[in-house]
Amino acid sequence: MLKVGLELFIDAGPGAVRLGEETGLPVFLDLKLHDIPETVERAVARASALGARMVTVHAGGGRSMLRRAVERARRDGAGLEVVAVTVLTSLDAGDLHDVGVDGDVAPQVERLARMAWAEGVRAFVCSPYEAARLREVLGSDATLVTPGVRAAGDQGKDDQKRAMTAGEAVKAGARWIVVGRPIRDAADPLAAAQAFTREANAVGQGPA
C-alpha cells in the first residue's frame, strides 16, 4: 500500500492519489481529518471519489464526525475505509496533560478506540505500544495501523516518542505498519523498504 500524507497532498494535490492507479497498489490517504461533521463527511466523499483505499480521521473529532464519515464511505460504496487516529505517536503522557487529558497514553487510546468502534469505525491508528491492548479489546475484526516504526537502534531519534521495530509492531498485533522517514531519507530507499518488509513478513502475520 502507498501512503499519501499531508505534505505530499499539499504539494501535489489530489493527483497524488493517482500513484495507486499507476502502480496497481491501494492508497492510504493519511490526512488526519478533524473538523465539523459536515466538512469531514464531504472530505470523505472526495477521498472516495479519488479511489483511496483508506483515509484517516482524528478520533478526537467526536461521535457525530466519526459516524458520518463511516456512513458516507459505506454509502458511496467505493471500498474506502475510515481509519481513526487515536493518539499521535509524537505524544506522551506529558503532552496529553498539556491539552487537558490526565493519565497515561494507553487508556486514552483505548477510550478513543472504543468510542470510534461504537460509531462503526473498524480501523485504527495507534503506536505499536498500544496495538496489543487494542487487539485484545477490539478483537480480530479490527484493523490496526501502526506508525512509529523504526529500524533497530533508531527509536527515539526523531519526534516519534512511541516507536518499535517492524517485527515488534507486527507481533503486537499490527495489520499494517507505516514507515515514512526511514525509507524517504535513506541513502537507498528501495533497500530500506525491502529490509522493513522482510522483517515484518518474517513474523508471518500479514502485509506490511
Measured between alpha carbons, how far is 141 from 158 in angstroms, rounded to an integer? 32
Largest CA distance in the chain: 46
- Can 32 be counted among the known catalytic residues? yes
Of 3, 32, 157, 171, the catalytic one is 32
CA-to-CA separations, 169 to 126, 135, 173, in angstroms, rounded: 10, 12, 7
Q: Reduce the DSSP state of residue 176 to 3 states and report it.
A: strand
The helix/strand/coil state of 164 is strand
3-state secondary structure of 105: helix
Cα separation, 175 vs 190, in Å, equals 22
Q: Which residues contact 25 (CB under 8 A, 6 or more apart)?
A: 1, 2, 19
Residue 135 in grid coordinates:
487487539
Name the phi and psi angles at 23, rounded to 5.
-105, -10
Rg (CA), the chain: 16
Question: Hey, which residues are catalytic here?
Answer: 32
